[in-house]
Amino acid sequence: MERNEARVRIEKLRSQLEEYGYHYYVLDEPIASDAEYDQLMQELISLEEQFPEFISDDSPSVRVGGEPLPFFEKVEHRSPMLSLGNAFSEQDLRDFDRRVRQTVGDEVSYSCELKIDGLAVSLLYENGRFLRGATRGDGMIGEDITHNLRTIPSIPLRLKEPIDIEVRGEVFMPKRSFETLNKAKEEAGEEKFANPRNAAAGSLRQLDPKLAAKRNLDVFIYAIGNISGKDISSHHQGLRYLKEVGFKVNNESRHCETIDDVIAFTNSWLERRADLPYEIDGIVIKVDSVEQQKELGFTAKSPRWAIAYKFPAEEVVTTLLNIELNVGRTGVVTPTAILKPVTVAGTTVKRASLHNEDLIREKDIRLGDSVVIKKAGDIIPEVVNVLADLRTGDEKEFLMPTHCPECESELVRLEGEVALRCINPECPAQIREGLIHFVSRNAMNIDGLGEKVIEQLFSHNLVTNVADLYQLERDELHKLERMGEKSVDNLLEAIEKSKKNSLERLLFGLGIRFVGSKAAKTLAMAFGEMEKLQQASVDELLAINEIGEKMADSIVSYFQKPEVTELLSKLESLGVNMTYKGPKPVAAEEIVDSPFANKTVVLTGKLEALTRSEAKEKIEALGGKVTGSVSKNTDLLIAGEDAGSKLTKAQELNIEIWTEQKLVDVLNQ
């Protein structure tokens, strides 16, 4: 076949396969047999192998999976992927409705849709072509899983219109695929997945896309994050448009005029959900009007215009076999119920938290008891109560130990606390849990140092404190399970990279009691250097906004310990950064003169010189408040390239508009 003839045939095959796929996976209306589809796909793959110059990222052939990746890259979402607030009762829904109407008035309607139990993803398209896909991550930054998402047939690689759009969806594993996968795992003697959600998440976390391609994943697209050149006035209109351009949208959504209609819709799915070919764990309710959504705005964590109604937790009866004790990084000893395995809300439950000794006494929980188990919010297994009437007399009372189950030091109960605590700083369990915390995402964020690797390092006596992580040798790592050449290279690179982290990450990673990630950032901004913080008095700490007495006492006590001084000195000698690298705190008198002082600012479009999170951080450091939507309360809009509806709205409201270059110029001043 001639080159020109091959190009024409390849394009025709792609268009034909895309159309077949759209009807099969999106519309659920097949227009070709499986045999015909497979035959055309094989022809396309063969032609692309003969003429590799015509290979394209949006070809249907990429769905079979490409080469494995060494690791997942971090990517920033163009608009935040916020989580939703939860409702667990009819009254919660009515309270949500009341709050909404207090802001936007009584003329409000809702869009209701099934809450698919899977993994949230963001998909980015430019000029109608699939560019990138990412996990939610922390809402601002996720992991690039494009290579795996391309293998999902229901995700279009080319849209029916050449638009720039970022959409949100839920990747899930259908029940039938889940059963097939677990059957294969059982036959291979491997551990089965607990539920379809875990299976879907695990599949998308594969570095080899060929493995993800075999898992038969699916997706429903449920929202538009950003779109250029298209005016969408309601959520329902947005869903219709998504389907028109080629996305798979769940057909069970409904427009509801009143909160009574919403409640009726949620109740109708309590029993019917079992008949669906996929798992759902609730209903998502959204204010339908986009204009009203903008008026309602957001809290720090979630939109005020949406809520997730979670189905009542399923309760089952099982036997409490034993109570296991775990020692955390702060020394707290937590009892955990070991249960006869039982299925709750689609998940096999073998353990449930008992929180503390007082709860065990209050509920009179004994070994061998028949207990009622539920998953609170369909997430955390919990012992609801004991069925005392079913006792046989063989049950045994459980007594909390007087000494640490890990190091045998005497346990204490500090004044005002219900928890028993091991206060031995050399306790192996505390050291191990402290290491796991130190490398976690919100702390030093060392990729590849998961819980299992830390446990291996600890059990092989390769690490006894966090400083040891920065002295690991290549030969030592090769001795660990599943540590090949690439894994070791990636891990050592991640450890080296973490040395450059800003001070607040190190502060949080050290695990100082009462100091969370937000307080660590506040402290890092206030003192700038670790040495200055080490020397700070209680009064100096209390002078900082958001630092209370308990936290101040804890910080001073921590830095007075000789072993802490030695540890920090060691970390510094190993090259770990001890200074704050973020935007410098601005004095109150400077903020008064700041162009952002007490102003509400919105960022939109693509920013080139700064990431969106950097711009937000700098504006807030100068007294501004950055929000996600334009309203009459917005004072300033920063418009990057391809700014869309937010720019139009700001122009309509006569809001001051800056280019990104003006923002950079002002910040440089």
Element (H, E) at 91: helix 90-104
> Are 269 and 279 within 8 A, CB to CB?
no
> Are 618 and 586 within 8 A, CB to CB?
no
What's the rounded Cα separation, in Å, for the pair 259 and 261?
Answer: 5
Beta strands 119-126 and 165-172 are: antiparallel
Element (H, E) at 288: none
CA 597 to mean position of chain CA atoms? 32
- Tracing tokens 């606390």 back to the chain, one arrives at 417
- Of the candidates 275, 277, 345, which has an alpha carbon nearest to the alpha carbon of residue 316? 345
Beta carbons within 8 Å of 398's beta carbon, 6+ residues apart: 323, 335, 360, 365, 366, 367
> How is residue 289 written in tokens?
């009007």
In degrees rounded to 5, what are phi and psi of residue 61?
Answer: -70, -20
- Tracing tokens 């903008």 back to the chain, one arrives at 294
> How is residue 322 written in tokens?
């034993």
| 176-184 contacts at long range (C-beta below 8 A, 24 or more positions apart) | 176/277, 177/215, 177/216, 177/217, 180/216, 181/215, 181/216
Q: Cite the DSSP H helix spans in 205-322.
A: 209-213, 235-244, 259-272, 290-296
> Are 14 and 57 within 8 A, CB to CB?
no
Residue 115 is among the residues annotated as catalytic for this protein: yes
Considering the candidates 12, 115, 518, 632, report the single residue annotated as catalytic: 115
- Of the candidates 136, 200, 130, 142, which has an alpha carbon nearest to the alpha carbon of residue 166? 130
CA 329 to mean position of chain CA atoms? 23
* Cα dihedral across residues 469, 474, 475, 478: positive or negative: positive
Residues with a catalytic annotation lie at 115
